[in-house]
């Protein structure tokens, strides 16, 4: 791929809500999207977690390296998108977390990241089907080439 390839989407529904205490962030968002037929969206959320699983992609080994933090952490920023993977809503998100001392950690968001309290805004996008597929150059599930 030599250039940026984009498709046009238009704004759809907009959701604002409270995340349930003690549940996994990714699981809650994916379930909501299934139940509300959200296929493509962007989102942001704020709040706090009681435990987090984060990671970064090792570009040489083509695998995610993850770590778990079991601590009360504030969500300083969490943004992501929702598209389809194998026909079901799939969450791709990055998160930045901070502790009481101001120490900051961040990375790719994984399950199990447990919500203490949180608020989310989901911005649905309508348009062509946006599906993830295996990309042999990176080893990742990326948006199909015709995006």
pLDDT in tens, 52-61: 999 999 999 9
What percentage of the chain has pLDDT greater than the value 70? 98
pLDDT in tens, 104-130: 999 999 999 999 999 999 999 999 999
pLDDT at 145: 72
Alpha helix positions (H), 4-113: 25-35
42 DSSP 8-state letter: E
3 DSSP 8-state letter: S
The rounded mean pLDDT for the chain is 96
- 31 phi and psi angles, rounded to 5 deg: -65, -45
CA distance 109 to 76: 13
Give the architecture (CATH level 2) of 11-142.
2-Layer Sandwich (3.30)
Most distant CA pair in the chain: distance in Å? 45
Domain boundaries, the chain: 11-142
Number of other residues whose CB lies within 10 A of the CB of residue 125: 21
Beta strands in the chain (DSSP E): 10-19, 41-58, 63-69, 73-85, 88-98, 104-126, 131-135, 140-143
* pTM of the entire predicted model: 0.94
């Amino acid at each position: 791929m030599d250039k940026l390839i984009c498709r046009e989407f238009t704004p759809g529904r907009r959701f604002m809500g409270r995340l349930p205490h003690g549940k996994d962030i990714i699981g809650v968002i994916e379930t909501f999207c299934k139940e509300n037929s959200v296929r493509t969206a962007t989102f942001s959320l704020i709040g706090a977690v009681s435990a987090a699983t984060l990671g970064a992609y090792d570009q040489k080994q083509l695998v995610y390296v993850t770590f778990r933090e079991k601590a009360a952490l504030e969500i300083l920023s969490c943004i992501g998108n929702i598209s389809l993977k194998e026909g079901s809503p799939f969450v791709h998100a990055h998160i930045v977390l901070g502790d009481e001392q101001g120490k900051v950690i961040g990375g790719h968001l994984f399950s199990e990241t447990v919500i203490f309290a949180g608020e989310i805004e989901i911005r649905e996008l309508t348009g062509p089907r946006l599906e993830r597929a295996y990309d042999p150059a990176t080893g990742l599930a990326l948006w199909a080439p015709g995006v």
